[in-house]
Amino acid sequence: MTLFKDMSLSALVAGFIATVISYAGPLVIIFQAAHTAGLPAEVLSSWIWAISIGSGVLGIVLSLRYRAPVVIAWSAPGSALLVSLLPQVSLGEAVGAYLAANLIVLVVGLSGAFDKLVARLPLSVCAAMLAGILFSFGSALFTSLQEQPLLVLAMFVTYLLCKRVSPRYAVLAVLLVGVGLVIGRGELSADAWVIGLATPVWITPEFSPMAILNIGVPLAVVALTGQFIPGMAVLRSSGYGQVAARPLLAGCGLGSLLLAPFACHGLALGAITAAICTGPEAHERPERRYVAGEVGGVFYLLFGLFGATLVSLFTAFPQALVAALAGLALFGAIAASLAGAMAVPQEREAALVAFLVTASGMSFLGLSAAFWGLIFGLFAHWLLTHKSAPVAEQAVRSRPAQETR
């Protein structure tokens, strides 16, 4: 088979590292969301199973179909959104909101309206909303200093040093240092660690308008703007312009819809992890880098099967380690979001409004800060940048054709 002929050690390593980094950083945010919502271990295990199996199957199928390293992952910004919103709704209502969000992604994908929709949405406002969602994670890194100063400082310094030497593996190095310190100081709760396979748990969806507006709409927006746009940019900048956005969005939307009743909040294109598989580190020949996407998908499937083990492992770690790791893993996303929010001088005030409203954590009329951040930001953007045609010009345009000849 062509796949085995194209196999290489560099592609195997790239696919493995991309998968490990996905679990080292973004997965921690899911643990935080589950912790704040008080979800039982079996539901968290099902959540990890669903996002892992979905990412693995889609990554394998799409990479093989388009001969490109298509890396699928769960929406990290979406996970961050759930940390504050998941405790406010029932599990069934959350699943109903997941279905609504992924239906939006599916419709956008099938309609081919992705590029048009992105062109109409001011990216500065969307980036500011995303920065506001992620803000609490960055600040939580430093508030966790009160609990474990040595651990958090060691992880923080490791992150900065690795950013200078090898930025791609900074989060992985932070994880290794943090785990090493916890084990060395005897702070690992070994009794909580069990080895077991994940068992999918069916959650009957409940459709609540408030939950759909609070969770579903922001979840769809951050997936489209925070995951699919940079994900497509990585593919196109790496020379894979032949891969259209339409089937990727449709595949992720459909896969997420099918897995939502098992607690999957959404699957999307990877960006940071995808860059590992699309670069020359995976293979010097671009047409053989798709193998890295295949390998990453296989490792997703393996990790997903042992979801219960991952749950117990992270439960055994101190909460300060989880908070610090989540904050550092999102440093790049926070920086990119802030840069995108302030990139256009004429849109900075509107972006600032969106950021402040979202970061405030306010709730109004039962709707979340993320929703209002988007609404206030779009309104400010329209008010500050909308230009009406001069009255005289409008009068000329409104004259009959014969009068203007």
Residue 390 pLDDT level (bands cut at 50, 70, 90): very low
Per-residue confidence (pLDDT) for residue 389, from 0 to 100: 45
Residue 43 has pLDDT above 70, yes or no: yes
The helix (run of H) or strand (run of E) holding residue 269 is: strand 267-269
Give tens-digit pLDDT for 101-148.
999 999 998 888 787 766 677 878 877 877 887 787 788 888 888 888
149-163, 216-230, 270-284, 317-331: least confident range: 270-284
Q: What dihedral do alpha carbons 73, 31, 179, 313 form, nearest 10°?
A: -100
**What average pLDDT does range 38-53 have in this prediction?**
89
Other residues' Cβ atoms within 10 Å of the Cβ of residue 120: 7
Higher confidence at residue 190 or residue 40?
A: 40
Residue 175 has pLDDT above 90, yes or no: no
Per-residue confidence (pLDDT) for residue 92, from 0 to 100: 93
Write out the DSSP string of 55-82.
HHHHHHHHHHHHTS---EEE-HHHHHHH
Q: Residue 72's beta-bridge partner residues?
A: 269
Per-residue confidence (pLDDT) for residue 190, from 0 to 100: 63
Per-residue confidence (pLDDT) for residue 314, from 0 to 100: 67
| Burial track 78-112 (b if 16+ CB lie within 10 A, e otherwise) | bbbbbbbbbebbebbbbbbbbbbbbbbbbebbeee
- What is the C-alpha to C-alpha distance for residues 256 and 258, in angstroms, rounded to an integer? 5
| E strands, 29-151, in order | 72-74
On whether the CB atoms of residues 276 and 22 are closer than 8 A, the answer is no
Residue 225 has pLDDT above 70, yes or no: yes
Name the average pLDDT for the chain.
Answer: 81
Residue 189 pLDDT level (bands cut at 50, 70, 90): low
- What is the C-alpha to C-alpha distance for residues 177 and 84, in angstroms, rounded to an integer? 28
Higher confidence at residue 95 or residue 2?
A: 95
Per-residue confidence (pLDDT) for residue 301, from 0 to 100: 93
Residue 403 has pLDDT above 50, yes or no: no
Per-residue confidence (pLDDT) for residue 281, from 0 to 100: 65
Per-residue confidence (pLDDT) for residue 88, from 0 to 100: 86
Residue 392 has pLDDT above 50, yes or no: no
Q: Is 268 helix (H, G, I), strand (E, B) or coil?
A: strand
Residue 362 has pLDDT above 60, yes or no: yes
Give tens-digit pLDDT for 226-266.
788 777 767 776 778 778 888 999 999 999 999 999 999 99
Give tens-digit pLDDT for 298-344.
999 988 888 767 766 666 777 788 778 777 877 776 887 788 888 88
Residue 396 pLDDT level (bands cut at 50, 70, 90): very low
Give the dihedral sign, CA 259/244/13/77. negative
Residue 191 pLDDT level (bands cut at 50, 70, 90): low
Per-residue confidence (pLDDT) for residue 168, from 0 to 100: 67
Residue 195 has pLDDT above 80, yes or no: no
